[in-house]
Chain A
């Protein structure tokens, strides 16, 4: 889950974003190793789609919402 913390109206703090990025990187690394080990490449698009949906749903409830809506 992409947890986006807001620091009042000041928006996202750089340190939070960095922590989040590193955590997600760790997950993506684990996911890559897992898919490589299991050789289940056909699962990749499904997992990525699910994760993107999760990110969009969660981000829609945050200060990022206006930017997301303009993208679509």
Chain B
């Protein structure tokens, strides 16, 4: 049985193919279309998935779309009705799109399939599992557990914004739901907006900013304001958002700027405005409130299900700081988070829900992780890489022996080189997990600055995450469980920390950033934490070998791992994208398969503008 899962039309369009219950391929449209968060029907991603599975479009039995459009339409109409006459302008703007396109989703999906392949006969049965059921399915079915509590938290699906379910065998039972407009995701997005970042893409920047807050009087005051005026948090983790302060239900803005300014004592930060301490303090306050809500929700999920296992999905499940604290709290013995926890993962979930719930098929993967380290995307052959090298007359060394390749690259990284690393199948989900990554030496105190400013062209405060051998995660961070998806933040052990200067609290944000906090300064965030990815030999032998070689040389089996892209660009997909990204930045080397390219010697190496592509800001 072949099932195509699709998520699109809102943000992060993606496609996935399930063949007899096995996830064969999954990819996001943005990678092919080269437009971040591309929401259009995922024509390229579907074509790739079909190719990977060796199927024709007419071999597909079911197409599962990740939400129910009519239920969403109902929510919109009821919301406009409830808030009327407020929201009239928004209503006039959104209705034409809905009555022209979105309510006729079946037609649009069929048209999309026809665009994928003209020969599509239209006989594929269309299914529409609910948005949060798709999230729940994306977390539970690929997990190794036979029974689990499932927690999904995001902005909003149809009505549901948070759900607690129980997964057992092939069944998912919904136990609790929190409905719009009360939403943990939208609460976090509201602060993302107020602190000058883009909603739907800047949330992780807010998470990275939060540790710069001074945990003290100011943060406590902001938390009190949030809890007294904006958000009531109940014991079971459900929340009530005071709509007097929000505008997302009736406008295209998140909050009432004037009311928030009055409440917090400073105006909404613009994108260009430099970050100040009060921005960081407010960031920390909302991060702590969110962590508290997630913790309470998890406790409720535990109480309701009695399970030792927790599965999570939805955009808020990408808040790895909250995830780290949840893991530390020990409410559940085991936690599995869908690596594509956002809407892209809905494509996988919708397809799995169709297979296990609609078609009542049993699960076959219990005990294993069916996401297979998220390496579910496109792979390029040596021939295709050579074609690109020839196109650009790019000189490259070919190192056939894997161990020699690892030793060579490890030595270059240890000598301070920054390496673009392009290998194997592309990752599914927002993180680069060692197949489309930029790698560098975490011991180098200048590396964070260099990577942020000269290579990624992004904000200097942004932290970098490490990938490491499992034994290093245990040695340096005390982490016992594998963390293959970079979804948990953990503090580095005391003995690897460096003492902070006495005047630390009074330093400016950028001064704090460049205080060395550990022996691995480039991956130790300001609060001594790191977003860890552990690498298993069987899942990623090349990176494992590289880490092993780096450990032999330096004593640390740890590397900086950041996504292979520049600010605003989707992570590179093809060898062509990789080469262009390499040439427009100060990256020193590029490794594609077994081909090694050095910046010096590349044609037109000094002319970065030649290679630049324009991307919208993120």
Contacts and interface: CB of A to CB of B under 8 A. Distances in A.
A53 B98 CA distance: 12
Contacts of A23: 104, 107
Nearest to A46: B77
Given A23-B107, A27-B106, A30-B106, A1 B101 contact: yes
B87 to A, nearest CB: 14
B106 A1 contact: no
A50 interface: yes
A31 B104 contact: no
A1 B99 contact: yes
Given A1-B104, A27-B104, A43-B77, A53 B99 contact: yes
Contacts of A40: 74
A30 B98 CA distance: 16
A1 B70 contact: no
B100 interface: yes
Contacts of B100: 1, 54, 58
A31 B95 contact: no
A50 B95 contact: yes
Contacts of A47: 73, 77
Contacts of A1: 99-101, 104
Interface string B92-114: 00011011110110110000000
B105 to A, nearest CB: 10
Contacts of B81: 46
Main secondary structure of the interface of A (DSSP, over half): helix
A27 B106 CA distance: 8
Interface residues of B, number: 17
Contacts of A27: 103-104, 106-107
Interface string A1-27: 100000000000000000000010011
B82 to A, nearest CB: 13
A60 interface: no
A17 B535 CA distance: 58
A51 B99 contact: yes
Contact of A34 (B70, B78, B99): B70
Interface residues on A, range: 10 to 19
A43 B77 CA distance: 8
Contacts of B99: 1, 50-51, 53-54
A50 B98 CA distance: 10
Contacts of A31: 70
Contacts of B103: 27
A27 B108 CA distance: 12
A54 B107 CA distance: 16
Interface string B41-79: 000000000000000000000000000001101100110
B97 to A, nearest CB: 10
A43 B107 contact: no
B74 A38 contact: yes
Contacts of A43: 74, 77-78
Contacts of B95: 50
Contacts of A30: 70, 106
Contacts of B70: 30-31, 34
Contacts of B101: 1
Interface in A23-45: 23, 26-27, 30-31, 34, 38, 40, 43
Interface string A50-69: 11011000100000000000
Nearest to A26: B106
Most buried by A among B71, B81, B99: B99
Nearest to B107: A23
A50 B102 CA distance: 13
Most buried by B among A31, A40, A54: A54
A38 B74 CA distance: 10
Nearest to A54: B99
A47 B81 CA distance: 13
Nearest to B98: A50
Contacts of B71: 34, 38
Contacts of A34: 70-71, 74
A36 to B, nearest CB: 12
A38 B550 CA distance: 60
Nearest to B128: A30
Nearest to B73: A47
Nearest to A51: B99
A51 B96 CA distance: 10
A40 B172 CA distance: 26
A27 B109 CA distance: 13
B203 to A, nearest CB: 32
A38 B107 CA distance: 23
Nearest to A55: B99
A26 B104 CA distance: 10
30 contacts: A1-B101, A1-B104, A23-B104, A23-B107, A26-B106, A27-B103, A27-B106, A27-B107, A30-B70, A31-B70, A34-B70, A34-B71, A34-B74, A38-B71, A38-B74, A40-B74, A43-B74, A43-B77, A43-B78, A46-B81, A47-B73, A47-B77, A50-B98, A50-B99, A51-B99, A53-B99, A54-B96, A54-B99, A54-B100, A58-B100
The 9 closest A-B pairs by CB, nearest first: A54-B99, A1-B100, A34-B70, A50-B99, A46-B77, A43-B77, A23-B107, A27-B104, A40-B74
Given A27-B103, A34-B70, A54-B100, 4 more contacts: A1-B99, A27-B107, A34-B71, A43-B77
